[in-house]
Structure 1
Amino acid sequence: MDATKQWNVTVEIDEDENTTMANASLRTPAGLDVTGVGKADRNPLDPNVPEIGDELAVARALRNLSERLLHATEKDITSVTGEPSHVHR
């Protein structure tokens, strides 16, 4: 069966003077909630460019979300097959 699906990721960014935190959240149609977290710390000697902190924190949150989703996939495969699984990264 051919199908086109769309999943949406919500990204929230919080900043203070030298630290940017990002949360990337996904809820699958099956009801699985997965959230990745990313942090970027600015060296106080570097210029204050908020966009760079946002980019780095979001990139790290998305990478963390991806790892958590892969881990959930491994658990699902194991529950279906009854065998330990490892998804290649």
Structure 2
Amino acid sequence: MDATKQWSVTVDIDEEENTTMAEATVRTPAGREVTGIGKADRNPLDPNVPAIGDELAVARALHDLSERLRHTTEKDISGITGQPSHVHR
């Protein structure tokens, strides 16, 4: 069966002084939410360019989300097969 699906990721960014935090969340069609967290700290000696902190924090949150979603997939496979599962990157 061919199908086109679309999943959306919501990214929330919070900035406080020299720290930017990002949360990237995806909700699967089954209703499961998976969230990744990312953090960027600006060196006080560096120029204040908020967009750079946003980019880095979001990149780290998306990477964390990817890892967490992969682990969720491994757990789901193990639950179906009854065997340990390891999904290769």
Q: Same fold (TM over 0.5)?
A: yes
Partner of 2:49: 49
In the TM superposition, residue 16 of structure 1 has moved relative to its aligned partner by: 1.2
Q: Which runs of 5+ in 2 are unaligned?
A: none
Q: Percent identity?
A: 80
Partner of 2:80: 80
| TM-score (normalizing by structure 1) | 0.98
User: In the aligned structure 2, how far is the partner of 1:69 from the partner of 1:84?
Assistant: 16
In the TM superposition, residue 84 of structure 1 has moved relative to its aligned partner by: 0.3
| TM-score (normalizing by structure 2) | 0.98
Say whether 1:20 aligns with 2:3: no
Say whether 1:3 aligns with 2:3: yes
Q: How many residues align?
A: 89
In the TM superposition, residue 8 of structure 1 has moved relative to its aligned partner by: 0.1
Q: Which runs of 5+ in 1 are unaligned?
A: none
Question: What's the RMSD between the two structures over aligned residues?
Answer: 0.5
Partner of 2:63: 63
